[in-house]
Structure 1
Amino acid sequence: MIREDLREKRLFFDGGMGTLLQEKGLKAGELPEIWNLEHSEEVISIHQAYIEAGSDIILTNTFGANALKFHDGVYSLEEITKTAVAHGKEAVRRSAGGRNVYVALDVGPTGKLLKPMGDLAFEEAYEAFREVMQYGEEAGADLIHIETMSDTYEIKAAVLAAKENTNLPVFVTAVFDERKKLLTGADVPAFVSLLEGLRVDALGINCGMGPEQMIPILEELQRYSSTPVIVKPNAGLPKQRDGETVFDVEPDAFAQTMRKIAGSGAAVIGGCCGTTPEHIRAMTEVCLEIPYEPAGKKNLTMVSSYGKTVIFGEESKIIGERINPTGKKKFKQALVERDMDYILREGIRQEDNGAHILDVNVGLPDIDEVSMMKEAVTALQGVTSLPLQIDTVDPRAMEEALRVYNGKPMVNSVSGKQESMDAVFPLIQKYGGVVVGLTLDETGIPETADGRVEIAERILKEAEKYGIEKKDIVIDVLAMTVSSEPQGAIVTLEALRRVRRELGVHTVLGVSNISFGLPFRPVINANFYTLALYNGLSAGIINPSSEDMMKSYDAYHALMGLDENCSRYVAKYGAKAAAQKEAAQREAAQKAAAQETAKSLGNAVPGGEKGAEMLSGELTLKTAIERGLKEEAPQMADALLKTEQPLEIINTYLIPALDHVGKGFEEGTVFLPQLLMSADAAKAAFEVLKAKIASEESGTEKKEKIILATVKGDIHDIGKNIVKVLLENYSFDVIDLGKDVDPELILQTAKEQEVRLVGLSALMTTTVASMEETIRLLKKELPECKIMVGGAVLNQEYADMIGADFYGKDAMKSVYYAQELLK
């Protein structure tokens, strides 16, 4: 029913729940979900007020209800969830007056970071969501609304749990910052591409901002989304007034901005923190008559990772081909030995050399491809932000990789064989992805362009049966080696041109296939690549480390006006001879030094030659930390100990690497996963150095202690854990008191440990009062102790009002404050 409504009219959500419960007596630190059982009428009355204000959708009081939070308490997750849905249904019965009002099961984040950034496994998150969603459907919920999300990986776990275990429509909203990014780095198109691939019913933004601040993000959502867009702002920014949390946008002002948002095309609008029935009433009154148009189709071919989106268009993309065992003896050996470091280094090298997407193929007869593909995809997305192309003919390996992939990948491939389409298209339908269609069928590869175009048309037609749009198919017309097929290149180029122009589909090609069996293959490959680009190649699967191929790519884009003012070409190739000579001399010196270190590492690491290979002119300890290579970093640190003192290594390699990544995080060029992986690598290296420092008693300064805690009543510790990892890497001794921490415990610990800095975290509006209580207690009993605060509901003004000494807008700012204060 709600899906049909979305095609015909704009829908109105309700507003905040927590602040209204506080007005009714919810105490600081008290769990709002418990009120479903202990204060039923109060919860029902809030639902009724929103229905009477004009809401078409009301959210159950289950934002924090999941199996991680309610597993062994007085009340079970089942009774909390089912009672919450029943309250929504009762409010509809009492107040809807025959109007169609939907009860949405409200699902918030777990409060934890997923691996590899945190300690929560993807499938554990999935299970936590699955349980509450099944209870919600059993109780009669009309849809599932997943909201206030900050990590695309957690979003994927939640959506899959909903899709695989219920038949309910799914809405998803996330928290974007002013840079239009999620906490873990996803931009708007990455968010949209993931959720459209997973086939949610509506997507958008909630929390974190007032309505005016959300308008630029709405514009981005509208640019990329073919799915109805949701906008649910806060009532402005939180403030303290007479000891209470209030928000600074009044109902009439809120409604006028929401009128602009509705006029800009938002399909579902409502409120989040601080909004009340008065805000919703004012909003519905001014927005009811605004004309509604369903979201228009955006014909964009997009693939994404957790933090980067690649959109196919006029400029051709580079798909790195080097993570593939075909013709690569060393890579085959690495796969047999499960040498993941080799794969990671190959991925990093291709990213540095200009790849936009990384092809991942680990198929060998001697290995378990299913487990290896899953391991490789998981590891690669921990060290590179590039989207991946899952390259396998094994449907089981394909599904395992699709399930754990954090984003919308390319999938290589499906063919015109019915068996292939029957196996692959259901997976694309379920998980999303841009699938490569090979122009071959049961009779083989057609010798003519007509035959290949015909198979491409057949693939597109079959994909439609699964709801897979043309934009999510790219066609590989297959390059046949000219040494055995003299007309192979001509046919391929004609087929490329026709698929792109006649079918309107993007194209991909394994370029180097053209030259098998010929001498000086790079000459053939580079020239064929240029011809393919001119004939409509959207993405070439090439070796980005090949100088000939990259010259062809760069020159083509400059010649065809795709490199504005030839700026990229000039930047890359315009250095003067003297500068080139200087760089070459510097590179030679660095390589010689690295080789010396490599020799030392080769002696220090089991498997000597492999250890030396790690540092053969490519990696130093600093770059290993910057790239998050936590297996190699400690080995490199151990090798350096043969010639350098541990403190010298820390100051020369560890701290500069962390500072470099931290600066990138501040500037928005490095995202949270990279920041944390880098911190893990530094920590692993430091463990090696710590033993040496302890044995030498080298007069190191006593480490300063810092307390971190999530305040009473709040179980979300993402921000706290991020700050902890970074502070430890900057040599602070962190006392982590965990989550839901009583103010008295924080005070007692600060006194006993003689702590000069306490960090407090809160995610929910309802727990900011606990933060203020903790600050007040510390200021009274321990005035010399400084307090820094952070969390999604905070801002500088609010932090000042509750008496904090410092507001950490992000994790790195908290580190810098600690350094300034304590060092």
Structure 2
Amino acid sequence: MNLCERLGREWLFFDGGTGTILQERGLKAGELPELWNLTHADEIIALNRAYLEAGCDIINTNTFGANALKFTENLTEIVEAAVEHAKEARRQANRPDARIALDIGPTGKLLKPMGDLDFEKAVELFAQVVRIGAKAGADLVLIETMSDSYEAKAAVLAAKENCDLPVMITLIFDEKGKMLTGGTVESTVAMLEGLRVDAIGVNCGMGPRQMMPIVREMVACSSLPVIVNPNAGLPRSVNGKTVFDVEPAEFAALMREIAQLGVQALGGCCGTTPEHIRAMIEACRSVPVAPVTKKHRTVVSSFSQTVEIGGAPVIIGERINPTGKSKFKQALRDNNIEYILSEGLVQEDKGAHILDVNVGLPEIDEPAMMERVVTGLQSILALPLQIDTSDAAAMERGMRLYNGKPMLNSVSGKAESMETVFPLVRKYGGVVVGLALDETGIPETAEGRVQIAKKIYETAATYGIPKEDIVIDALAMTISSDSRSALVTLDTLRRIRDELGGHTILGVSNISFGLPQREIINANFYTMAMQNGLSCAIINPNSEAMMRSYQAFLALTAQDEQCAAYIAAYGGQQSTAPVSAAKAAMPLGESIERGLKEHAVQATTARLEQLAPLEIVNNELIPALDRVGKGFEQGKVFLPQLLMSAEAAKAAFEVVKSAMKGEVQEKKGKIILATVKGDIHDIGKNIVKVLLENYSYEVIDLGKDVPPETIVETAIAQDVRLVGLSALMTTTVVSMEETIKQLRAQKPDAKVVVGGAVLTPEYASSIGADCYAKDAMATVHYAQQTIG
């Protein structure tokens, strides 16, 4: 029985911490743990062997931070040595049944457009390690401690494209169930199921007690085996060493509780030792193993939102499409991306759940435009997207770069179409629209369309694509040429729902083509279609008639609890004609909140004709940033939108500076930012830098892997009153503590704010920090408190 077949039939146990144990065995502050594969082979073998002797089924190679960003010359040697040490430990422990996981951690970089790392570059960085590790003899790939769903996707694609080993992944969430970049348990599970990983889970960041709510949520929505690898509680510093507050016996008891939640694999992360793992295995082995259960949900997702198809009807906004839209066509020709993004934002405001994205024009490079529009949209809004194209290259480009599980429009019952589209769905994941037509054309009867739907389902299954990932388009044909066409469509909707148990979709407005006052027909047909089982409708959410139909249908079918949504939409409000965002002048504050740089520049230029530059800064720019920051803290705005808003504000600031004609803009104070020695993960630091600079602080960015002496010398030389330190890995927090000690001794008036995934308020206090910042906005607030 192979490894994947064993999941859900028997317990599989992973090993525990590596870096924290190596620290106890002499790993120095700032020293890279992966180098011990070359310099301390016996220690690595001994640690792997200890975990095997504790009863582990899977041990991880000492390669968490091994990538070409950190190791430019000896990456191959390090990864090969790590795999060989695990093999030797397996031989010494006489555990031929044990499996070796090639351990892959994050790059420490934020991917574009939020950061500076290109998606394909990230894929190649991970691919290098995968190729080396697979060739060296690893049995599976374990991608772990991922805090960004986009980077997680890059790592999964690298593994899938460069080896045929099982691929498993564990993610890191905060106490609210959010990843660093805003991903939720449900949205990341949807994406990773679509990418067809073999198991998904959670690790690091929390102890087992704190992790339980996340585990429950993951088990509830995942059709994959679930892995749980928590820390040994929460960290703190004792006599210069990082220790954790959960001993082996307590860890084992808590893990037994987690084992009863329906997971399939258990292990540990930071602070856990062979003793923790041995106790866990003894406590959990007798717990009955929960089989993996398929949830059969039809779900599409963005990086932070999921839309489930099959409950209340889903609205798919149709406005990002050049058909019949001369201004949109010109925007595509002019590469006017902000016009397109504005249309997306308006549809989001009007109630769309998913946005259709069609950028096809004969005279443009459709794959390149699809890339620009998809990446642009997902950087400023959180709605899932439907990639709508007949160009296979454009479809693949959009799917590959999409941060989530998209909808795809479309595949037909033609053999050539299915042979083109289904391999893409199998590789990247997605919910695909199946057109009820084939080589013979569009059937005139519902029976003919139902038979094509069956053919699409059956063919998809041969590619491993389940029925829940197919939504059938029953095809709305204009009644102006065939008065019975609406009846055939409605009959098809009913039969797909009642006979096949499937979901359906329509481009509703097609029904009225060629008729006057088309909204009258469209809105009434929309209501009839929903009554007959329509799951999704591609409509214009800016149309008041269509939205009235939708809201009324929900209220009348008891899908709008106490008519709350209907009242919110129409209670005491007068209807107004919708205005496209592309046609309206967007105020400066809204431009910044939306993250639209060109709009912000235009609005700032216009405001300079009415207000003094500093009035604009103080009365419009800063308040807009404050509103975005507040939304971020409340969980209503996610990191991509926060960063894009900051970029829009930065663009507006540049216009203001130019208008000041050489006047010096007053800086509020100097702040040092640095990722501490031994740590190359600078995501958090770079996010903080962007926001601080927007709030007019002078940031001295010392970069990553910065020795304590450099930070102290800079603070003294430039008389800096606030120092911000970042660390991702537990093994580098000792460098953070040493930096704080040296600052206290040599620059005692400097305040220190710290942040990073491994830190807690208590841990920050124990190493002498003045403030623990849970996110970038918290750092801004502390800067305002301490230096104005």
Aligned to 1:231: 228
Q: Is the 8 A contact 2:668 2:787 kept in 1?
A: no
RMSD: 1.4
Aligned to 2:763: 798
Letter in 1 for 2:106: P
User: For 1:629, which of 593, 596, 602 is the aligned residue?
Assistant: 596
TM-score where L is the length of structure 2: 0.98
Aligned to 2:458: 461
User: For 1:738, which of 703, 724, 727 is the aligned residue?
Assistant: 703
User: For 1:781, which of 746, 753, 762 is the aligned residue?
Assistant: 746
Q: For residues 240-291 of structure 1, what are the alpha-carbon distances to aligned partners after superposition, in whole Å with 9 as ceiling and x for unaligned?
A: 2222111000100000111111111111100000000000000000111111
Question: 1:368, CA displacement in angstroms?
Answer: 1.6
Say which SS state the counterpart of residue 365 (structure 1) adopts.
Answer: coil
Aligned to 2:431: 434
Aligned to 1:595: none
User: For 1:164, which of 156, 161, 167 is the aligned residue?
Assistant: 161
User: For 1:661, which of 614, 628, 635 is the aligned residue?
Assistant: 628
Question: 1:614, CA displacement in angstroms?
Answer: 7.3
Aligned to 1:769: 734
Q: Is the counterpart of residue 691 in structure 1 residue 658 in structure 2?
A: yes
Question: 1:724, CA displacement in angstroms?
Answer: 0.5
Letter in 2 for 1:83: A
Question: 1:363, CA displacement in angstroms?
Answer: 1.2
Aligned to 1:610: none
Q: Is the counterpart of residue 444 in structure 1 residue 444 in structure 2?
A: no
Q: Is the counterpart of residue 145 in structure 1 residue 142 in structure 2?
A: yes
Say which SS state the counterpart of residue 816 (structure 1) adopts.
Answer: helix
What aligned pairs does 1:134-533 form with structure 2 within 5 A after superposition? Answer: 134-533=131-530
Instruction: Measure the CA separation in 1 of the matches of 2:263 and 2:334.
Output: 52
Aligned residues: 787
Worse-superposed segment, 212-221 or 446-455 = 212-221
Letter in 2 for 1:483: S
Q: For residues 628-663 of structure 1, what are the alpha-carbon distances to aligned partners after superposition, in whole Å with 9 as ceiling and x for unaligned?
A: 112221232122222211111112221111111101
Aligned to 1:547: 544
Instruction: Measure the CA separation in 2 of the matches of 1:304 and 1:617.
Output: 30
Q: For residues 6-33 of structure 1, what are the alpha-carbon distances to aligned partners after superposition, in whole Å with 9 as ceiling and x for unaligned?
A: 1421100000001111111000000000
Instruction: Measure the CA separation in 2 of the matches of 1:381 and 1:686.
Output: 24
Instruction: Measure the CA separation in 1 of the matches of 2:3 and 2:25.
Output: 32
Instruction: Measure the CA separation in 1 of the matches of 2:19 and 2:513.
Output: 66
Q: For residues 69-121 of structure 1, what are the alpha-carbon distances to aligned partners after superposition, in whole Å with 9 as ceiling and x for unaligned?
A: 1114xxx10000000000000000110344x1001000000000000110000
Letter in 1 for 2:703: G
Q: Is the 8 A contact 2:8 2:264 kept in 1?
A: no
Q: For residues 185-204 of structure 1, what are the alpha-carbon distances to aligned partners after superposition, in whole Å with 9 as ceiling and x for unaligned?
A: 11111111110000000001
Instruction: Measure the CA separation in 2 of the matches of 1:718 and 1:165.
Output: 26
Letter in 2 for 1:781: Q
Aligned to 1:598: none
Aligned to 2:118: 121
Say which SS state the counterpart of residue 170 (structure 2) adopts.
Answer: strand
Q: Is the counterpart of residue 755 in structure 1 residue 720 in structure 2?
A: yes
Instruction: Measure the CA separation in 2 of the matches of 1:712 and 1:234.
Output: 23
Q: For residues 374-400 of structure 1, what are the alpha-carbon distances to aligned partners after superposition, in whole Å with 9 as ceiling and x for unaligned?
A: 211111111111100000111111111
Aligned to 2:647: 680
Say which SS state the counterpart of residue 514 (structure 1) adopts.
Answer: helix
Instruction: Measure the CA separation in 2 of the matches of 1:293 and 1:260.
Output: 13
Instruction: Measure the CA separation in 2 of the matches of 1:806 and 1:383.
Output: 30
Question: 1:365, CA displacement in angstroms?
Answer: 1.5
Say which SS state the counterpart of residue 789 (structure 1) adopts.
Answer: strand
Aligned to 1:48: 49
Letter in 2 for 1:748: E
Aligned to 2:9: 8
Letter in 2 for 1:760: L
Question: 1:327, CA displacement in angstroms?
Answer: 1.2
Q: Is the counterpart of residue 21 in structure 1 residue 19 in structure 2?
A: no
Instruction: Measure the CA separation in 2 of the matches of 1:749 and 1:690.
Output: 28
Identity percentage of aligned residues? 64
Say which SS state the counterpart of residue 16 (structure 2) adopts.
Answer: coil
Instruction: Measure the CA separation in 2 of the matches of 1:714 and 1:649.
Output: 40
Letter in 1 for 2:619: T
Worse-superposed segment, 751-760 or 650-659 = 650-659
Question: 1:336, CA displacement in angstroms?
Answer: 1.7
Instruction: Measure the CA separation in 2 of the matches of 1:614 and 1:360.
Output: 17
Question: 1:334, CA displacement in angstroms?
Answer: 1.4
Question: 1:618, CA displacement in angstroms?
Answer: 4.8
Say which SS state the counterpart of residue 80 (structure 1) adopts.
Answer: helix
Instruction: Measure the CA separation in 2 of the matches of 1:417 and 1:627.
Output: 42
Aligned to 2:556: 559
Aligned to 2:669: 704
Q: Is the 8 A contact 2:226 2:264 kept in 1?
A: yes
Aligned to 2:90: 92
Name stretches of at least 5 consecutive residues in structure 2 with no aligned partner: none
Instruction: Measure the CA separation in 1 of the matches of 2:607 and 2:384.
Output: 34
Question: 1:616, CA displacement in angstroms?
Answer: 4.8
Letter in 1 for 2:648: A
Name stretches of at least 5 consecutive residues in structure 1 with no aligned partner: 592-612
Question: 1:702, CA displacement in angstroms?
Answer: 3.9
Q: For residues 327-362 of structure 1, what are the alpha-carbon distances to aligned partners after superposition, in whole Å with 9 as ceiling and x for unaligned?
A: 111111211222111111111110111100000011
Instruction: Measure the CA separation in 1 of the matches of 2:511 and 2:625.
Output: 44
Instruction: Measure the CA separation in 2 of the matches of 1:461 and 1:485.
Output: 31
Instruction: Measure the CA separation in 2 of the matches of 1:20 and 1:703.
Output: 43
Instruction: Measure the CA separation in 2 of the matches of 1:221 and 1:312.
Output: 19
Q: Is the 8 A contact 2:667 2:697 kept in 1?
A: no
Instruction: Measure the CA separation in 2 of the matches of 1:719 and 1:290.
Output: 40
Say which SS state the counterpart of residue 695 (structure 1) adopts.
Answer: coil
Instruction: Measure the CA separation in 2 of the matches of 1:238 and 1:125.
Output: 30
Instruction: Measure the CA separation in 1 of the matches of 2:667 and 2:44.
Output: 52
Say which SS state the counterpart of residue 662 (structure 2) adopts.
Answer: helix
Letter in 2 for 1:214: M
Structure 1 stretches of 4+ moved >2 Å = 613-618, 691-697, 700-703
Say which SS state the counterpart of residue 549 (structure 1) adopts.
Answer: helix
Q: For residues 310-337 of structure 1, what are the alpha-carbon distances to aligned partners after superposition, in whole Å with 9 as ceiling and x for unaligned?
A: 1113211100000111111111121122
